[in-house]
């Protein structure tokens, strides 16, 4: 296990705190945080809509007009989405039990907790939406254990070196979307739950 001192938490600057989430996700490598895809979506929508692609697409690509329109609508929504400010700056799940749990114990991340990874333990809470183990397990599945690897790396080398290493990878083009599982993790976990519009 690690603790704030041995992990050199005092070397994390205030402006770096939003880069790293309690669960081990590195928000600084997430496109919703970086915002590049919003710009790309805006540009692609401008070009495709300008071409009236819903009109010509069925002839050139054999794709139904409605499908093209649904894609254009999705691009438009994506282009208008807010930038995520990072987990510690009120980004992510507003009622995330992992963040609440870490915050209540004064941890920057679960790397400081001797129960990490607590998702390996037995679930205790009947309400899955509020259960730390459920959420950490869900995130760990969605991120194909990348977040846990990050927390282990923090324990190995401390926060300073971890952040420097991650920033180097981000500069080289790495994004969280490179590690996210292609399994329907969220769909399976929330089967039957009402969906957003």
Query: Site size for ligand SF4, by CB under 6 A?
Result: 23
Identified binder of ligand SF4 from the candidate list 54, 139, 148, 154, rule CB under 6 A: 139
Closest CA to 2 of 104, 108, 86: 108
92 binds ligand SF4 (CB under 6 A): yes
Q: Which of 32, 136, 163, 170 binds ligand SF4 (CB under 6 A)?
A: 136
Q: Closest separation between CB of residue 87 and ligand SF4, Å?
A: 3
Q: Which of residues 94-113 bind ligand SF4 (CB under 6 A)?
A: 96, 98-99, 101-102, 105, 107, 110, 113
106, 133, 94: which is closest to 117 by C-alpha?
133
Which region, left, alpha or beta, applies to residue 77 given φ > 0 means left and ψ of -120 to 50 means alpha? alpha
CA angle 166, 39, 182 (to 5 degrees): 55
**Residue number, 70 or 95, with CB nearest to ligand SF4:** 95
Is residue 154 within 8 Å of 162, Cβ to Cβ?
Answer: yes
Complex with ligand SF4: residue 66 or 187, whichever CB lies closer: 187
68 binds ligand SF4 per the rule CB under 6 A: no
Under a CB-based contact definition with an 8 Å cutoff, are residues 11 and 158 in contact? yes
Stretch that binds ligand SF4, among 10-18, 19-27, 44-52, 71-79 (CB under 6 A): 19-27
DSSP string, 168-184: HHHHTT--GGGTS-SS-
Q: Which residue matches tokens 């205790």? A: 124
Interface with ligand SF4 (CB under 6 A): 21-23, 25, 87, 92-93, 96, 98-99, 101-102, 105, 107, 110, 113, 115-116, 118, 132, 135-136, 139
């Amino acid at each position: 296990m690690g603790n704030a001192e041995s992990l050199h938490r005092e070397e994390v600057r205030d402006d770096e705190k939003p880069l790293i989430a309690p669960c081990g996700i590195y928000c600084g490598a997430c496109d919703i945080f970086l915002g590049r895809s919003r710009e790309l979506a805006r540009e692609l929508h401008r070009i495709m809509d300008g071409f009236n692609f819903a009109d010509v697409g069925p002839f050139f690509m054999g794709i139904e007009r409605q499908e093209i329109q649904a894609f254009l609508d999705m691009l438009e929504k994506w282009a208008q989405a807010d930038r995520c400010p990072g987990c510690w700056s009120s980004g992510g799940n507003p009622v995330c039990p992992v963040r609440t749990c870490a915050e209540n114990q004064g941890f920057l991340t679960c790397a400081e907790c001797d129960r990490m990874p607590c998702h390996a333990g037995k679930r205790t809470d009947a309400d899955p939406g509020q259960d730390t183990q459920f959420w950490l397990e869900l995130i760990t599945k969605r991120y194909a254990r990348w977040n846990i690897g990050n927390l282990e790396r923090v324990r190995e080398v401390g926060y300073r070196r971890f952040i420097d290493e991650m920033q180097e990878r981000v500069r080289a083009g790495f994004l969280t979307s490179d590690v996210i599982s292609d399994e329907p993790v969220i769909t399976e976990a929330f089967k039957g739950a009402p969906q957003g519009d």
